[in-house]
Structure 1
Amino acid sequence: MKRIALPALVVAGMLFGTGCSSKPDSTTTAKDVNDQKVDNGTVATAAGSNTDTKDVTDYMVDLANTGRTEFELSQAAATRATNPAVKKYASQTVSTHAKDEAELKDEATKRNITLPPTLSPDSQEMLTKLQAEKAGMDFDKKYLDDMADVNDKAISKAKDTLKNSQDPALKTYVQKIMDDDQKHMDEAKRLKTAMK
């Protein structure tokens, strides 16, 4: 047992440790930790096989990343957007994703699934580019474009999770996330069209 636990501890240490030159990709590290947990039989999610379980844990990691990305992008827009409708949308999205993130953490904890503590490099780059954008119509449009893109990715991962999981409680939660993300994507597109 100690032999199996040691690699998991090493990977977990990598997840929370900091490197001298650059931060590791926390989404990749979380997926590696979860793969070891699946191999050790310590992930409690109902899936047809270890491969399906690994897929479900990967999708949960990706959902955590896209949800956190939406939250961070929307926090930036809630303070910097100039269009009142965009600002209101961003504030509502922050509120929704704060709740969704807490629920996702609960669902992951119940199943012993590790979620990433930070954004993926791609998501961080998206946030950095948005934050570098000068406040005004271009910022608002970039935020809405980014939100449509992130929500599209989240919906795709949610569909994959629904297809591969046999866990009714998880499927109910993921369906809720997918419905929220569909509304956010539709509203982002609607707002952007209205700004033209």
Structure 2
Amino acid sequence: MAHIDYYFSTFSPFTFFAGLRMEAIAEKHGATVTYKPLDLMALFARTGGTPPKDRHPSRIEYRKQELRRQAKKLGITINPMPPGYPPNPAPSSYALIAAQKAGGGNLGELVQAYGRACWIEERNIGEDDVIADCLGQAGFDPGLAGGMMLTEAEEYARNLEDAVNAGAFGAPFYITDGDERFWGQDRLDDLDLHLAGKL
């Protein structure tokens, strides 16, 4: 059975734009998935990337255009610079890690709930009440919010190390158990073809 390690940031717009396509691809091919939320800014620092705010003006402008275009393709409207952006990704990531252990809900829906809260609803996904609402929307116990434990913090830090060691450098990033790497929501068709043995 194929397996996908899914590295992502809970506030990444491109993670949000992926929707539930990766989950559908995994189901189609009988693949298992491990969700590995991480600190994207730390990943950039470790792998030669630059945070959006520190990029050359041409790259900043291109990112704005790309956000607008990708959102339009999906039929949604986002604020390309929501209030308080970027939020602290740790609390929402800890809650997702706890939810993955607890089960009972839909992790893909939880990632999407975080994205909607940040990019459409302009809510701060670093706040416990927003995280609790997102957990509930995805079928998880809202009480997982704010109950962050040492084990979740340790796993969050380990996800960053795993990403660096596995060759990930952005988000979303998908790595199969055969070490095939796919960066970005626009590479999901390639992931599908690879799992089908066609690529």
TM-score range, shorter chain: under 0.3
TM-score by length of 2: 0.24
Higher relative contact order (CA 8 A, sep 6+): 2
Q: Tell me which structure has the larger Cα radius of gyration.
A: 1
For normalisation by structure 1, the TM-score amounts to 0.24
Larger strand fraction of residues: 2
